[in-house]
A and B are shown apart, each in its own frame.
Chain A
Amino acid sequence: MIPQAAGPGDPPTALPLAALLLGTLALAAGASALALHPALLASAAPTPAFLALTHVVTLLYVALLFAGTLQQLLPVLLVTRLAWPRLGSFALPALVAGSAAVVGGFALGFEPHLLAVGGTLVTLALAATALQALRTLAGASRRDAAARGLVTATAYLALTVALGFLLAATPHLPALARALGYPVSLHLTVGLYGAFLLGIAAAGQRLLAMFALAKETRAYRLRILTGLVHAAVVAELLTALARLPLHGAATGLLAAAGALQLWEVAALLRVRIRRRLEPPVQRYLLAHAFLPLAGALVLAGRPGGAGIALLLGFVVLAASGMQAKIASFLTWQTRYAARGAGGGAPLLRDMLLPGFEPLTTFGLAAGAAAAALAASLRSEPFAAVAGVLLAIGAWAQLVQTVAILFGRHGAHAGRTAAPLAPKEQA
């Protein structure tokens, strides 16, 4: 049974933990499917099966993790209570069911009923989650750039699925197709950058500061990054609706946003106190190496490879790193907090299976690099290698998640450093 404990009025911790578990299972299944059918990644044009696979990653892994952890992360970042704490009990199951229907709809060759039902459920679930995030933000006294960025990313996630829904509908609705065209770039920009880059940048600024013991950096970089993403979305919107030639400008704005994220992470690392970072945090940092790789692939005229590098390299790797930390935090809170820190409770790091972290990092990172190459070169051998490596990484992450949630963790005993006297004793 998934650990659950929460105070009255708090969202149940079982929800984010279930989201982490289901999401990781979906990632492992998706990676295994790629390992079995590598041609999916090497085809010249996106096939329905390829779209099904990408939506396993985007909806059933990243979006589910995002929406699930938001139930706990948002009130922590905003230092407030979550609005409508029971909403997740409806929204997350709807997101899972809807995502599964969307994936099934693609896998069956654009099956319209599944896509319609799935698209509706996913759109409603994420729209409700975005409203919940906005309501929580409205009630918070601390509304800094990170909190605002996270809420904005949630809104972009809802917008992404609404746009995806429209995209899926255009083949069946000629009037819609005439009005909208087929704005794939807009869908990708809003999803990859508005939801995922901004979400990782905003949550990462606070979480990396916490895990590396870095004093939070000045917020201007995150504010400018948010502004650049907004501007790029507007540029893509004008490209799609007004047929203005602004796609290149949007790409430039997004490249600048990626560079700012690299700068922000470097700034946090410079001021950190904790020199030795834990393996999941190292994986989160490694994810950022895929931002310049994606930029290089765009410059080389390989936008498909760049998209894969961004999704599998940057987004999945960053999410999987933070996932391990968040899973151990939430499980510790629910299973061990009552014993008291130090009073028979394990340390967070002792809840992880040490051998599986390097395996996860290697599999996911090397797999993402191979997948980006496979998509760029349309190489089936590279795609096969990518599938195997990604499957190794994803299954290792699944084993790790199960071990964190359900494992028997030994108690830590004794103090670890000589104490200082408090400043004042009366």
Chain B
Amino acid sequence: MTPTLHTLAPTPDPDAVLAALGEVLDPELALDILSLGLVYAVQIAGEAVAVEMTLTTPGCPLHGSIAAAVEGRLARVEGVDAVTVTVVWDPPWTPAAMSDAARHALGFS
């Protein structure tokens, strides 16, 4: 009798999740959302990834597009089955959240 093999879905690699987030760009600023400090928290629970993020300004016209891009990109990460993106305004984004490279890219140092 051949035993039935049950393969558990692999838990997503946190580094792969972060790398995927680093590929989502703000098309206006040409910087990724991690460098801009827009991602407040990432929670990986089994195959589900929840992202809490913000945007540089409330009412940004790219609100829906960037959130959808995060969902779409994370859904392609191996082991990810469900993605939840929550855009929050509290705490508001501040320039202090940007990486040095992002500051340099914007001409602000």
Interface residues, chain A, CB within 8 Å of chain B? 72, 76-79, 142, 206, 209-211, 213, 216, 273-276, 329, 332-333, 336-337, 340-343, 345-349, 412, 414-426
Q: How far is the CB of B9 from chain A (nearest CB, A)?
A: 19
How long is the Cα–Cα vector from A413 to B107 in the complex, in angstroms?
Answer: 21
Residue numbers in B under 8 Å from A76 (CB-CB) = 59-61
Question: Are A420 and B99 in contact, with the CB atoms below 8 A?
Answer: yes
**CB–CB A210/B57 < 8 A:** yes
The answer to whether A343 touches B23 (Cβ under 8 A) is yes
Q: CB-defined interface of B47-80 with A at 8 Å, one 1/0 digit per residue?
A: 0000000001111111011101100110000000
User: A418 and B59: CB pair below 8 A?
Assistant: no
Place the interface of chain B in its size category.
35 or more
Could you say which residues of chain A place their CB within 8 Å of the CB of B66?
341
Binary flags per residue of B64-108, CB closer than 8 Å to A gives 1, else 0:
111011001100000000000000000000010111111111111
- CB-CB under 8 A from A206, the residues of chain B are 59
CB distance from A221 to the nearest CB of B (A): 19
Contact residues in B for A343 (Cβ distance below 8 Å): 23-24, 69, 72-73
A275 to B26, CA, bound (A): 17
Contact B14 A425 (CB under 8 A): yes
- With contacts A275-B108, A420-B34 taken as known, whether A347 is within 8 angstroms of B27 at the C-beta atoms is yes
A-B contact count (CB 8 A): 147
Contacts of A209 in B (CB 8 A): 57
Question: Closest residue to A277 on the B side, CB-wise?
Answer: B107
Q: Which listed residue (B64, B73, B99) contacts A418, Cβ 8 A?
A: B99
Expressed in whole angstroms, the Cα–Cα distance for A396 and B108 within the complex equals 31
B31-46 residues with Cβ-Cβ distance < 8 A to A are 31-32, 34-35, 37, 39-45
Residue in B22, B25, B40, B97 whose Cβ sees the most chain A Cβ within 10 Å: B25
A426 close to B106 (CB less than 8 A): no
- CB neighbours (8 Å) of A342 from chain B are 23-25, 27, 32, 69, 73
9 CB < 8 A contacts A-B: A79-B59, A274-B108, A276-B107, A332-B65, A340-B24, A342-B25, A342-B73, A417-B104, A420-B37
Q: Complex: how many Å from CA A415 to CA B60?
A: 21
With contacts A343-B23, A426-B43 known, is A415 near B69, CB below 8 A?
no
Beyond the given A274-B106, A415-B22, could you list 8 further A-B residue pairs with CB under 8 A, ordered by the A residue number? Answer: A72-B61, A211-B28, A340-B72, A347-B30, A415-B23, A420-B37, A422-B21, A422-B40
How far, in Å, is A279 (CB) from chain B's closest CB? 14
- DSSP class of B's interface residues: helix, strand, loop or mixed? mixed
| Residues A275 and B106 in contact, CB atoms below 8 Å apart | yes
Interchain nearest-CB distance for B96 vs A (Å): 10
Contact B25 A341, beta carbon cutoff 8 Å: yes
**B16 within 8 Å of A (CB atoms):** no
A275 adjacent to B107 (CB under 8 Å): yes
Can you list the 8 inter-chain pairs with the closest CB atoms, starting with the nearest?
A275-B107, A419-B34, A340-B69, A342-B25, A417-B35, A417-B101, A337-B65, A341-B69
Interchain CB contact under 8 A, B25 and A419:
no
Q: How far is the CB of B67 from chain A (nearest CB, A)?
A: 10
Least distance between A404 CB and chain B CB atoms (Å):
13
- In Å, the complex CA distance between A210 and B35 comes to 18
Answer whether A417 and B31 are a contact pair too, CB < 8 Å, given A329-B61, A425-B42, A426-B43.
yes
A79 to B63, CA, bound (A): 10
Residues of chain B within 8 A of A421, CB atoms compared = 18, 34
Q: Which of A77, A273, A342, A419 has the most CB of B within 10 A?
A: A419
Q: Which residues of B contact A210 (CB under 8 A)?
A: 28, 56-57, 60
- Shortest CB–CB separation between residue A280 and chain B, in angstroms? 12
State A426–B73 Cα separation when bound (angstroms): 19
A415–B65 contact, CB under 8 A? no
List of A residues within 8 angstroms of B22 by Cβ? 415, 419
Closest to B59 in A: A79
A179 to chain B minimum Cβ distance, whole angstroms, is 44
Residues in A whose Cβ lies below 8 Å from that of B28: 210-211, 329, 347-348
Q: Chain B contacts of A276 at CB under 8 A?
A: 106-107
Of the candidates B45, B58, B60, B99, which one forms a contact with A419 in the assembled complex, judged by CB atoms under 8 Å apart?
B99
Q: Which of A78, A213, A340, A415 contacts B29 (CB 8 A)?
A: A213
Residues of A close to B21: CB separation below 8 A: 419, 422
Cα-based distance from A210 to B18 in the complex (angstroms): 26
Distance to closest chain B CB from A273 (angstroms): 5
B39 touches A422 (CB 8 A): yes
**Contacting pair A340 B68 (CB below 8 A):** yes
Q: Using Cβ atoms and an 8 Å threshold, which residues of chain A touch B41?
A: 422-426
Determine how close the nearest CB of chain B comes to the CB of A23; give it in whole angstroms: 20
Name the residue on A nearest B25 (C-beta): A342
Neighbour of A347 across the interface among B18, B25, B43, B97, CB < 8 A: B25
Chain A residues lying within 8 Å of B106, measured Cβ to Cβ, are 213, 273-276
